[in-house]
Amino acid sequence: MTETTAAPAAARWAAKATGALRRYRVMAWVTGVMLLLLVVEMVLAYVVGAPDAVLRYLAWIPFAHGWIYVVYLVTVLDLWSTMRWRWGRLAALVLAGVVPVLSFVVERRVHREGEERVAAATTLGA
């Protein structure tokens, strides 16, 4: 690859990576919030023993969380393949959507590292 073709390729990759990071950030937050709502719903149902009248209004949470997690997995795969990370990073990202609060912690670290990598690629490609 010549120097003249390296800059546009780096810019295209940086744009794709920035989009993937943005989508991942949104879905990590949405998944984290839905997981916390799911925990609240489960505590109300199994620990507190809330009446059925209350649980009827919360019945949508497990269903919505399940589908949101599927969308989260798609964004994780997109980000992982774009950034060309190792398998361990993929496992960490997948598990972050399952453990309450972990998605917020992992999202912050992944987003910072991703932005640093994009910045490095754009300065090298420029």
Cα(74)–Cα(63) distance, integer angstroms: 17
Q: Is residue 2 part of a domain?
A: no
Q: Report pLDDT digits (tens) over 19-53.
A: 999 999 999 999 999 999 999 999 998 999 889 88
Q: Is residue 45 part of a domain?
A: yes
Q: Is residue 13 part of a domain?
A: yes
Q: Report pLDDT digits (tens) over 68-116.
A: 999 999 999 999 999 999 999 999 999 999 999 999 999 999 999 999 9
Cα(111)–Cα(22) distance, integer angstroms: 8
Query: Domain residues for 109?
Result: 7-121
**Taking 70 as the threshold, does the pLDDT of residue 66 lie above it?**
yes
Q: Is residue 39 part of a domain?
A: yes
Cα(124)–Cα(104) distance, integer angstroms: 30
Q: Is residue 1 part of a domain?
A: no
Q: Is residue 94 part of a domain?
A: yes
| Count of the separate structural domains present in the chain | 1
Q: Is residue 126 part of a domain?
A: no
